[in-house]
Amino acid sequence: MGALTISGIRKTFGKLEILRGIDIEIEAGEFLILVGPSGCGKSTLLGMIAGLDHPTSGSIHIGDRDVTYLPAKDRDIAMVFQSYALYPNMTVAENIAFALEMRKVPKAERDVTVQRVAEMLQISHLLERKPGALSGGQRQRVAMGRALARDPKLFLFDEPLSNLDAKLRVEMRAEIKRLHQRTRTTTVYVTHDQVEAMTLGDRIAVMKEGTVQQFGTPDDIYTRPATRFVAEFIGSPAMNLVSAEFGAQGVQCQGQALAVTEAQRAAMAAAGTTGLAYGLRPEHLGFATSGLAGRLDIVEPTGPETYVTVDTAIGPLTARVPGAVRHTVGENVYLQWDPATAHLFDATSGNRLA
């Protein structure tokens, strides 16, 4: 068995089935991401791993131990949640040291840990303050410090960075990654942010409406999204997806032929595909002197690259091109791509075809 094994988890609230059969297994030391839009069931699932709630059916094992109905306090986990409760009458240092004190860790050792954690989180100057005298972002960092001070079997995070400003969020993301590389504590991290998911995860479970759409490495998820939903959810700017038909003429969209490879054609023929979604990542589209004609509609420079949106016969397509763009808005341009980079999904099921 893995370090954490989630088997057949279902959860209903009244008549609503919020989790519809979740299976995930990770190894010791892995950093697991649960990512998906708001309301898809991430926090509900994390709460069950934490022991704050029980599933309607299914089981959760930490190592070999069945913890499905074990109280939270007996699971040897540390949690950082979206809403955090610090002890208001204790200083920051006392808050961070509290769990260690409960476990009778000697004072000298506690002090060293508090200093180390405070330095990591850039809150050394706040150690003597009470939570009431801190900003929201500072309180969140203290809550993280409290979890980091312990040495649990499992770290659980629920959107710990969502209350921080953009710059701090990027810094803290790197801190969490560095921390994990050092401690190798098995971690489950909930986020709705696909960049956090890609940058932090060893493996990612992409969730939608109480199901896992795909469970894989960041590379799997990005280069071979299993469903149309995953394809659209992961990646920024998002993958371009156009509705198309497959028949004797090949793939057609709005009377326009879209090139496919022999392997893609064979996969669609074997699957009996008629309707499909044809997907192209923005980085796989480029300007050319021939190809798909269109009118340049939006130019968004970011510095190292530029996002351009072109109105074409098959709809607006966003391309991500290196450096600056010399074309001007309103100009007629051509886009080209290698058909091997196209992602094809069945129009009805949304499942990947090739």
Ligand X SMILES: Nc1ncnc2c1ncn2[C@@H]1O[C@H](COP(=O)(O)OP(=O)(O)O)[C@@H](O)[C@H]1O
Residues that bind ligand X (CB under 6 A): 13, 18, 36, 38-44
Please provide the DSSP assignment of 179-245 as one string.
HHHHH--EEEEEES-HHHHHHH-SEEEEEETTEEEEEE-HHHHHHS-SBHHHHHHSSSSPPEEEEEE
Tell me which of Mg ion, ligand X, none is bound by residue 18, counting a contact when its beta carbon lies within the kind-specific cut-off of 5 to 8 angstroms.
Answer: ligand X
Longest dimension (CA), the chain: 77
**Would you report the helix, strand and coil content of the chain in percent, each value rounded to 5?**
30, 35, 35
**Closest distance to ligand X from the beta carbon of 273 (Å):** 32
Is the CB of 43 or the CB of 186 nearer to Mg ion? Answer: 43
Q: Is 191 in the site for Mg ion (CB under 5 A)?
A: no
Tell me which of ligand X, Mg ion, none is bound by residue 87, counting a contact when its beta carbon lies within the kind-specific cut-off of 5 to 8 angstroms.
Answer: none
Tell me which of ligand X, Mg ion, none is bound by residue 41, counting a contact when its beta carbon lies within the kind-specific cut-off of 5 to 8 angstroms.
Answer: ligand X
Is the CB of 36 or the CB of 282 nearer to ligand X? Answer: 36
Q: Is 43 in the site for Mg ion (CB under 5 A)?
A: yes
Is the CB of 43 or the CB of 185 nearer to Mg ion? Answer: 43
Give the helix/strand (H/E) hosting 45.
helix 42-50
Interface segment toward Mg ion; rule CB under 5 A; list 6-14, 40-48, 213-221, 264-272: 40-48
Answer whether 26's CB lies under 8 Å from 39's CB. Answer: no
Interface segment toward Mg ion; rule CB under 5 A; list 20-28, 37-45, 204-212, 276-284: 37-45
To the nearest 10°, report the CA torsion of 179, 180, 182, 184: 150
Tell me which of ligand X, Mg ion, none is bound by residue 13, counting a contact when its beta carbon lies within the kind-specific cut-off of 5 to 8 angstroms.
Answer: ligand X
Is the CB of 131 or the CB of 160 nearer to ligand X? Answer: 160
Answer whether 250's CB lies under 8 Å from 265's CB. Answer: yes
Tokens of 85: 């409760």
Is the CB of 12 or the CB of 183 nearer to ligand X? Answer: 12
Going by C-alpha positions, the residue among 4, 1, 6 that lies closest to residue 45 is 6
**Closest distance to ligand X from the beta carbon of 204 (Å):** 14
Amino acid at 200: L
Interface segment toward Mg ion; rule CB under 5 A; list 11-19, 43-51, 206-214, 325-333: 43-51
Taking the C-alpha atoms of residue 18 and residue 5, their distance in angstroms, rounded to an integer, is 19
**Closest distance to Mg ion from the beta carbon of 52 (Å):** 12
Tokens of 121: 């989180």
Q: Which residue is nearest to Mg ion (CB)?
A: 43
**Closest distance to ligand X from the beta carbon of 41 (Å):** 4
Dihedral sign from CA coordinates of 100, 101, 103, 109: positive
Tell me which of Mg ion, ligand X, none is bound by residue 294, counting a contact when its beta carbon lies within the kind-specific cut-off of 5 to 8 angstroms.
Answer: none
Q: Is 44 in the site for Mg ion (CB under 5 A)?
A: no
Chain residues binding Mg ion by CB under 5 A are: 43
